[in-house]
Amino acid sequence: MTQMPVQTPRGDEIRTIVETRLAEARASGRAAETVRIEFRGEPTALEVVKMPVADLYYNPYTHRVRVQRAYDPVRDSELKLHPFSDESQRYLHGLLSGNPEQPDAVDPAFEKLRDDLEEYDQNDPGIITPSGVLVNGNTRRAALRDLGKDHIRVAVLPADTTWPDIEAIELELQLRPDLKREYSYINRLVAVNEMVVAGRNISEITKAFRTTTKSIDRDQWVYSFISEAIKRSETKLADGSPVSLRLMDFEGHAESLRELYRHYQQLSGADADLLRESRLFSLMTDLAKTELRYVRPDFHERYLSPRLSKRFAPAEQSAPETGIPGFDAAPDLELPGDSDAVQQARVATDTLLQATTKANVSEFLSPAEREETTELIESATQSVRDAADESKAFDLREKRKAAAAERLREAVRLIEETTEQVAKARGHNLMEHQELDEAMVDLSAALKKLSKHASRGVTTPGDGLTWLQHSVSNNP
């Protein structure tokens, strides 16, 4: 971004309005309202004025909707070329009021903010450049416009404010814990990554985001994971146009991505790679977070692969008679060290990533290609659901198998505690021999029942069962 002061189409006119209103506020004799921020490393007090809502501009680079800008590529291109045009500002207005996961739907958090402003008016001022760009308060301005309000209270930055200044101020203010509407998960990842790429040291980043080094490491891993997935999703339309997934396509998966990072760090080698591939494949089908726990390193080979159509298999294993035009083979299929299982999982995942990319731009597909893409995604989704159900059922069976042994271990712990209580009671001459004897009779009866059921169908009992059978047979 340029180091020159920020300019807007009506910059000179707005600057004159700002200067006039600042002069009027100073001459009024009333105590001036100020906002205290950190500007270029120094605490700075900014004077507050009331400005016409219609005269201000949304910040085209705000991190609040940074990744959502890709929702409409045509309008995003216009925004990049002419950030302050009426069309670009209308697009930003829609994104600021939209749901991060589905920008064409109004965000409930925005509706809550709008209702709050309608009932209680504006509590905290926004912040603008002298030429009218909102650094803080973009969403508030959108809500005030929807409400038909004429004015907004804003603090004014110094005349030489640059875009890097705006970015630093925005992050410092938007990441404060008292903010009513937080950044979306992916926009936060982008902001973290930009600071890392800019060379900011880790202590500065953790302070800015009020977090820990471990959390920053996790965020960087997740951002890299998503970026790789987007790269692997690249494919071409029939006319040769390149398309891929967008960062915003991963909104709504915050907890699943954090959990993937935790589980991935506990593994190594092929197991780690298989977990990553299977979880990514499952994320693309929107498998519920509660079901993702059943997607383990063996998930693809044991449960998923047998259910997938041949279109998800490596070409050398099964070349399909028909396929979706433009679906590219994984470029790194032959990476050294990748096991056959990992390679097969990567091919399946890449196929689904590219299908999802095409589904996002289905209006540019031919009817036949659109139908085939839809069928491919639906079959993958059903296969994942069925595979997750089988994996879950296996877990339940294993838990049932282990349940009896675990209960017996609990009984052992209780008997050990009983032994300590008996020893203490004897030491204090507080022993209730009759009650203890009755309880032991009950224990004997219970052990006989256990021996009877545990011995069924067992021709060669182990040491434990042999002891139990011998004990109950000698104590009829």
Instruction: Categorize the per-residue pLDDT at 439 as very low, low, confident or very high, splitting at 50, 70 and 90.
Output: confident
| Under 8 Å between Cβ of 192 and 184 | no
Report how far residue 31's alpha carbon sits from residue 365's, in angstroms, rounded to the nearest whole number: 63
Instruction: Categorize the per-residue pLDDT at 334 as very low, low, confident or very high, splitting at 50, 70 and 90.
Output: very low
Structure tokens at 198: 């800019």
> Regarding predicted confidence, which is higher, 47 or 322?
47
Judged against a pLDDT cut of 80, whether residue 37 lies above it is answered with yes
pLDDT of res. 445: 87
Structure tokens at 158: 């110094």
Of 315, 266, 45, residue with least CA distance to 156:
45
Average pLDDT on 349-355 reads 98
Q: What is the dihedral of CA 418, 419, 420, 424, to 10 degrees?
A: 100
| Under 8 Å between Cβ of 154 and 125 | yes
Instruction: Categorize the per-residue pLDDT at 176 as very low, low, confident or very high, splitting at 50, 70 and 90.
Output: low
Q: pLDDT digits over 276-293, tens only?
A: 999 999 999 999 999 999
Of 263, 243, 53, residue with least CA distance to 139:
53
In this structure, of 88-102, 141-155, 331-345, the range with the lowest mean pLDDT score is 331-345
pLDDT of res. 335: 46
Q: Which helix (H) or strand (E) holds 156?
A: strand 151-156
Report how far residue 467's alpha carbon sits from residue 165's, in angstroms, rounded to the nearest whole number: 78
> How many residues belong to the chain?
476
Q: Measured at the alpha carbon of residue 243, what is the angle toward residues 275 and 92, in degrees to the nearest 5?
A: 100
Buried b or exposed e, range 110-136, using 16+ CB within 10 angstroms: beebbeebeeeebeebbbbbbbbbbbb
Instruction: Categorize the per-residue pLDDT at 333 as very low, low, confident or very high, splitting at 50, 70 and 90.
Output: very low
Q: pLDDT digits over 441-454, tens only?
A: 888 888 888 888 88
Contacts of 144 (CB under 8 A, 6+ apart): 53, 117, 122, 152
CA of 350: how far to CAs of 261, 316, 383, in Å?
A: 20, 15, 16
Judged against a pLDDT cut of 90, whether residue 34 lies above it is answered with yes
Which pairs count as long-range contacts for 311-319, CB under 8 Å and 24+ apart, including other chains? 311/351, 311/376, 312/347, 312/348, 312/351, 312/352, 312/380, 313/344, 313/347, 313/348, 314/343, 314/344, 314/347, 315/347, 317/344
Q: pLDDT digits over 63-109, tens only?
A: 999 999 999 999 999 999 999 999 999 999 999 999 999 999 999 99
pLDDT of res. 432: 82
pLDDT of res. 459: 87
Average pLDDT on 152-174 reads 91
What pTM does this model have?
0.76
Q: pLDDT digits over 369-425, tens only?
A: 999 999 999 999 999 999 999 999 999 888 787 777 778 888 888 888 888 888 888
199: phi then psi, degrees, rounded to nearest 5: 90, 10
pLDDT of res. 325: 52
Say if residue 380 is exposed, middle or buried (CB neighbours under 10 Å; 0-12, 13-18, 19+): buried
The mean predicted confidence, pLDDT, of the chain is 90
Percent of the chain whose pLDDT exceeds 90: 68
Average pLDDT on 9-26 reads 95
Report how far residue 247's alpha carbon sits from residue 232's, in angstroms, rounded to the nearest whole number: 13
First to last CA, the chain: 89
Buried b or exposed e, range 304-335, using 16+ CB within 10 angstroms: bbebbeebbbbeeeeeeeeebebbeebeebee
Q: What is the dihedral of CA 109, 112, 116, 119, to 10 degrees?
A: 160
Average pLDDT on 11-19 reads 96
> Regarding predicted confidence, which is higher, 384 or 457?
384
Q: Which amino acid is at 235?
A: T
Judged against a pLDDT cut of 80, whether residue 463 lies above it is answered with yes
Structure tokens at 243: 């398309």
Judged against a pLDDT cut of 50, whether residue 331 lies above it is answered with no
> Regarding predicted confidence, which is higher, 297 or 171?
297
DSSP alpha helix (H) spans, 150-184: 163-174
> Regarding predicted confidence, which is higher, 423 or 317?
423
Report how far residue 421's alpha carbon sits from residue 427's, in angstroms, rounded to the nearest whole number: 10
Judged against a pLDDT cut of 80, whether residue 179 lies above it is answered with no
| Under 8 Å between Cβ of 300 and 277 | yes
pLDDT of res. 317: 46
